[in-house]
Amino acid sequence: MTMSRRDWLRLGLAQACSGLAALPALATEASFPSRPIRVVVPFAAGGGTDVVGRELAQLMSTELGQPLVIDNRAGGGTVPGSDLVAKAPPDGYTLLLTTSALAINASLVKGLPYDTLRDLTGVARICHGPNVIVVRPDSPHRSVADIIRDAKAAPGALSYGSSGNGSAVHLAAELFKLTAGLDIIHVPYRGAGPAYTDLLGGRLDMVFATAGGVANLVKSNRLRAVALTSPQRSGL
C-alpha cells in the first residue's frame, strides 16, 4: 500500500492519543503475576503517555496484587523503548505502553531493530483523544487565525515543540503547516514533558500535544488551548 506524505500526516492527525499496551507474548505461568511487572514508556516523564501509564499502573497493581513499575525510555522516536520490549523474555513481565508511533514507525523508519508484527503483540487500547495546540497564557495567539497570520508575516520566526519526530502530534503539526502553507520551526523532544517545560519557560511559541497530556495545565490556567484536531468540543 502506497501512502503520500499528506496521507501520513492525516494519520497523525487522526491518531491523537491511542495508548497501546504491548508485549512479546502473553504469559502462560499459572500463578501470573508472581513478581513485579515492568511497564516501558518510550517517552520522558510528565507527558500524556507517562501520566496515563502511572495512573494505569496504580490501578492494575491493586487489581493484580503486584507492583507495576514505570520505566521511562525516552528518545529515538520511541524505537529504543519498543526494541527493549521486543527483545525481552516473552513471559508477560515486560509491557510497552506506547502511542500510534508504534504503527507509524513501522512504515516511516528504515531498518527498525525489531519486527513490529512479529515481535510485539497488542493487548489493549487504553485511550484515544484529539491533539491540541497550546500556548502560554500571555501569548498573543488566541486562535488558529492568529498563528497563521503571524507565521505568514514572518516565515520561520515561530516555533512549535512536539513529543518527538514521527509522533502523532508531529504529523498533525506538519499537516497543519502543509495545509496552511506555513513555515514554523519544529523542535522535537524526548517526550511531551520537556516540551511543556520549555513552552512555559518562553523558549517555544506553541506545543502540539495530546489533550490528556495538557488537561491539567490548561485547567490550572498555566497553558491556554487554542485549537483541537477534532470536530467536537473538548472538556479542556
Q: Are 21 and 88 in contact (CB under 8 A)?
A: no
User: Considering the entire predicted model, what is its pTM?
Assistant: 0.70
Question: Given this chain, do its domains 18-125 and 132-228 carry the same CATH topology?
Answer: yes
Could you list the pLDDT tens digit for every one of the 236 residues in the chain?
Answer: 344 545 444 443 433 343 444 444 444 556 899 999 999 999 888 877 888 899 999 999 999 999 999 999 988 889 999 999 999 999 999 999 998 888 888 888 889 999 999 999 999 888 888 899 999 999 999 999 999 999 999 999 999 999 888 888 999 999 999 999 999 999 999 888 899 999 999 999 999 998 888 989 999 999 999 999 877 776 66
Separation CA 10–CA 57 (nearest Å) = 31
pLDDT confidence of residue 29: 56
Please give the grid coordinates belonging to residue 158.
515561530
pLDDT confidence of residue 174: 95
Residue 37 phi/psi, 5-degree rounding, is -110, 130
For domain 18-125, give the CATH number: 3.40.190.150
Separation CA 103–CA 110 (nearest Å) = 13
Of the candidates 69, 119, 118, the residue with the CA atom closest to the CA atom of residue 97: 69
Domain boundaries, the chain: 18-125, 132-228
pLDDT confidence of residue 68: 96
Q: Are 24 and 90 in contact (CB under 8 A)?
A: yes
> Position of cell 496521507?
7
Evaluate whether the domain defined by 132-228 bears CATH number 3.40.190.10: yes
pLDDT confidence of residue 234: 67
